[in-house]
Chain A
Amino acid sequence: MSAEQIQYNQSLLASISSQNPDVNAAAAQVHQYTEMCKAGQISPAEYAQLLRDIQSQINIQAAMAELDAMETLNTAINGLITIASLIA
């Protein structure tokens, strides 16, 4: 990847301003890893793996948000069943 391509992708990252804090955090992470790679603190192979890990972390967050919603739904349903049973 050329220096121009790296700069172009970094400017894309800098332009990200989302309402979702997780998206902003991920963009900041990518920027941090890019700088580390440029400084020689991590190798290009390690850099590529860390970028793939960000995708895995996003998938974990999405799966846990789904489970969290199901747990909230369960609490609400049980609460409503209790109320309905008391009224009946």
Chain B
Amino acid sequence: MKKIILLISIALSGCAVVDSYLMKYDPGEYTIITEIRADAQNYKESCSNELMSTTNSVALANKTKLFVLFSEHQPHNEPVIKASIELDKIAQGLKTQYTNEGKVSPMFCKIKFESIEHSAEAMQKIIGAKPR
């Protein structure tokens, strides 16, 4: 019995420390960043098809925007909030290039999706390691 009480008190004190400066693992946050990574990985293969890439760029920009809005009011989550804004800038840039400029080179499309994929992977790795 003493051991159980000791283990519970250790676990609870650990949680209190985490709550004071670091947000715990959030499955919703992890799911969205994983989807962004997977979408970018798939979309880069269609860069030779301008019509499809236009649709893909809009879909991905909507998802990075969702990630910004999902993260922005979560307490003790400043690094993810900052990173989500930067990731969204990259995705919105591609969308704007397709919707406003019209002509987009396939090379530019591929580099943009790769940048989003690699940045999302870096974020996923750290977000996945948040304390449970």
Contact = CB atoms under 8 A, between A and B. Distances in A.
B1 interface: no
A53 B115 contact: yes
Q: Majority SS of interface residues in chain B?
A: helix
Interface in A43-57: 43, 45-46, 49-50, 52-53, 56-57
B32 interface: no
A36 interface: yes
B112 interface: yes
Interface string A23-54: 00000000001001000011101100110110
Interface of A: 33, 36, 41-43, 45-46, 49-50, 52-53, 56-57, 59-61, 63-64, 66-68, 70-71, 74-75, 77-78, 81-82, 85-86
Nearest to A85: B10
Chain B contact residues (Cβ within 8 angstroms of A): what range?
35 or more
A28 to B, nearest CB: 13
